[in-house]
Structure 1
């Protein structure tokens, strides 16, 4: 048996530092978690002694409330990437083309190629203007990673209509949408939404997420889902987190305020892309230092930032997360800028 086709599909580096001595701005997970979540996780031990309910109705109901859709349209998955993989595996076959934004999450083209398909790249800012005809799948990341740009709701809905007319499923990755107060497109006909609980709730190791899809494609996703594909602790913890409305509001407010403050400070030295996500993309080309040097210098100061040149089409960029005020001040100092307006006192646990 020949596995060469898999060997050629090296996974692109993801954000996240494995060095516990570094303050991690390379990943985009919330540095805070909802109060009480550890107790919920521990209490799930008793549930772990038996198989989870199948289908997991409580989780589906919480997810449906979270994104405002029908619970029957929710397909629980072990993380957002599992929802993306399941969708691409159903939609794309050998020789098929998939419309993929660039720069964007490197897993989209990788998963397309794993199915024997070929990604057809289109600039992320104009993906909604592309023709979905003759593609087996169209992908949109909203907000987009790594740019942080989001899309006008009306334009996204019109693109979804064109995809339906072309009989092309539309996958909308909403991994970072929870950081915004913008509504989900979950439940729209012909659209598959992928959601992750990793980012907003600061729990990447839980591996909980879900897809939302209706119609024949939604039925196919539900049939393809393995029974008990999400653990009892993940189901309980995920359902609890999605109902922490005050935590969600506070997180959105903090990210919005800090992102604005950071962008203003960073713009003194770097070109900063406007963002609706919990991160900022910086073009460092005019700074007089290379990406490698900036990443290394930040690391020497105890800060991990993302080398964004691994994203297609970016050759002079880094990406930095938006964390808590005192932590963000450390990042600004490591990148050679200061924010005189900040009143952070260092009370954050850094």
Structure 2
């Protein structure tokens, strides 16, 4: 991480440098939704699985005494469970504090000051933030055009599968061709598979020149545990493992996630439930709301104008329904993102949207 880049970020937040192209509304941190909405009855701003596997609370509680000690930094059990879950070698798994920890580690290991990194617009804002913190420059292209980009001029390519906030999922063949072009150009590619478990697609983990990011705490409905990992091979893997923070995942969290990754049937079941509810939400929306297809546990809604977003946020507050204001994503001025929850909660969401737009 470049010290000068940190100073630039602080200066931009304080409004001292009007030439900086920050799109974060004068904030040094990126807003994601959900952080301050725990008291809301129904929170659609978070994108984790609405369900959790059986027995996970018991495992977490029984492992509480281990929190009196630091975890073993080799994370043998975690690596083995993650490797079996994805079909890779345990040595290729690099434990991190959530997916964001893996994203920071991947960018830190591959990008230097002055480099250029290509990513989709819109996309998860932490990509841009981490690139800028390295003193590098992000280059933005439309998500579909990202699959046809020439990787040669770039130090890194970042693709989300599915993309956040749109739910767009890259076509397998085109993504595989991009991975091959990146390998030929010796340009690493990060594939963020945080929400891939909801799409019934095969992971790209284990491909040479590729860093895959995974978030089992999101997949299994436990985002507060902050358990993630990266997968890479060869020299890339060595650099990630050398640069990772020690003790990145606490012992109770590790035990809970290891338990979860041993339940693949839960993933397939929750995938079907989420897909069914996602389709039902899209079909039930009032006229005038555009909701493109999504392969993620959320849907991006275009309400038509920014004032409609404000009205929905106000009505949501009155009804205890939180949605993700998506206007701080690049290129989105009239959008909200809504996560998939239980059928009763989803009914309340649709009713809230209809009330806001009537």
Partner of 2:18: none
1:141 to 2:160 alignment: yes
The whole-number CA distance in structure 1 between the counterparts of 2:283 and 2:214 is 30
My pick for the range that moved more, 195-204 or 4-13, is 4-13
Post-superposition offset of 1:285: 0.7
Question: What secondary structure, in the 3-state scheme, does the structure 2 residue paired with 1:310 have?
Answer: coil
**Which of residues 53, 57, 64 is equivalent to 1:38?**
57
The whole-number CA distance in structure 1 between the counterparts of 2:274 and 2:116 is 37
Which has more helix, going by share of residues? 2
1:97 to 2:116 alignment: yes
Structure 2 segments unaligned to the other structure (5+ residues): 14-27
Q: Alpha-carbon deviations, 1:257-298, whole Å to 9, x = none?
A: 001111111263311111000111111116x95211222122
Is the 8 Å Cα contact of residues 99 and 119 (structure 1) preserved in structure 2? Answer: yes
Distance 1:299 1:51, change over 3 A: closer
**Which of residues 248, 254, 264 is equivalent to 1:229?**
248
**Which of residues 259, 281, 303 is equivalent to 1:262?**
281
The whole-number CA distance in structure 2 between the counterparts of 1:269 and 1:262 is 14
My pick for the range that moved more, 140-149 or 51-60, is 51-60
Note the aligned Cα RMSD (angstroms).
1.8
My pick for the range that moved more, 302-311 or 260-269, is 260-269
Post-superposition offset of 1:179: 1.6
Is the 8 Å Cα contact of residues 98 and 217 (structure 2) preserved in structure 1? Answer: yes
Q: Alpha-carbon deviations, 1:222-268, whole Å to 9, x = none?
A: 11123322211121111111112232122111101001111111263
Post-superposition offset of 1:138: 0.4
The whole-number CA distance in structure 2 between the counterparts of 1:104 and 1:331 is 24
Partner of 1:70: 89
Partner of 1:15: 33
Structure 1 segments unaligned to the other structure (5+ residues): 338-350
**Which of residues 164, 178, 183 is equivalent to 2:197?**
178
Question: What secondary structure, in the 3-state scheme, does the structure 1 residue paired with 2:182 have?
Answer: helix
The whole-number CA distance in structure 1 between the counterparts of 2:103 and 2:73 is 22
If the length of structure 1 is used for normalisation, what is the TM-score? 0.92
Question: What secondary structure, in the 3-state scheme, does the structure 1 residue paired with 2:173 have?
Answer: helix
Is the 8 Å Cα contact of residues 140 and 171 (structure 1) preserved in structure 2? Answer: yes
1:4 to 2:7 alignment: yes
1:323 to 2:326 alignment: no
My pick for the range that moved more, 275-284 or 3-12, is 3-12
Is the 8 Å Cα contact of residues 17 and 304 (structure 1) preserved in structure 2? Answer: no
Partner of 1:348: none
Number of corresponding residues: 336
Is the 8 Å Cα contact of residues 195 and 297 (structure 2) preserved in structure 1? Answer: yes
My pick for the range that moved more, 80-89 or 49-58, is 49-58
The whole-number CA distance in structure 2 between the counterparts of 1:188 and 1:224 is 20
Is the 8 Å Cα contact of residues 115 and 155 (structure 2) preserved in structure 1? Answer: yes
The whole-number CA distance in structure 1 between the counterparts of 2:286 and 2:180 is 38
Partner of 2:141: 122
Partner of 2:266: 247
Post-superposition offset of 1:17: 5.1
Partner of 1:202: 221
Post-superposition offset of 1:18: 2.1
Q: Alpha-carbon deviations, 1:50-97, whole Å to 9, x = none?
A: 443341111111101111211110001111100000010011111000
Is the 8 Å Cα contact of residues 22 and 299 (structure 1) preserved in structure 2? Answer: no
The whole-number CA distance in structure 1 between the counterparts of 2:335 and 2:70 is 46
1:187 to 2:206 alignment: yes
Partner of 1:314: 332
Is the 8 Å Cα contact of residues 100 and 121 (structure 1) preserved in structure 2? Answer: yes
My pick for the range that moved more, 46-55 or 83-92, is 46-55
My pick for the range that moved more, 316-325 or 297-306, is 297-306
Summarize the alignment of residues 291-310 of structure 1 with structure 2, pairs less than 5 Å apart.
291-310=309-328
The whole-number CA distance in structure 1 between the counterparts of 2:50 and 2:262 is 19
My pick for the range that moved more, 112-121 or 228-237, is 228-237
Distance 1:49 1:117, change over 3 A: same
The whole-number CA distance in structure 2 between the counterparts of 1:148 and 1:34 is 24
The whole-number CA distance in structure 2 between the counterparts of 1:17 and 1:77 is 20
Question: What secondary structure, in the 3-state scheme, does the structure 2 residue paired with 1:320 have?
Answer: strand
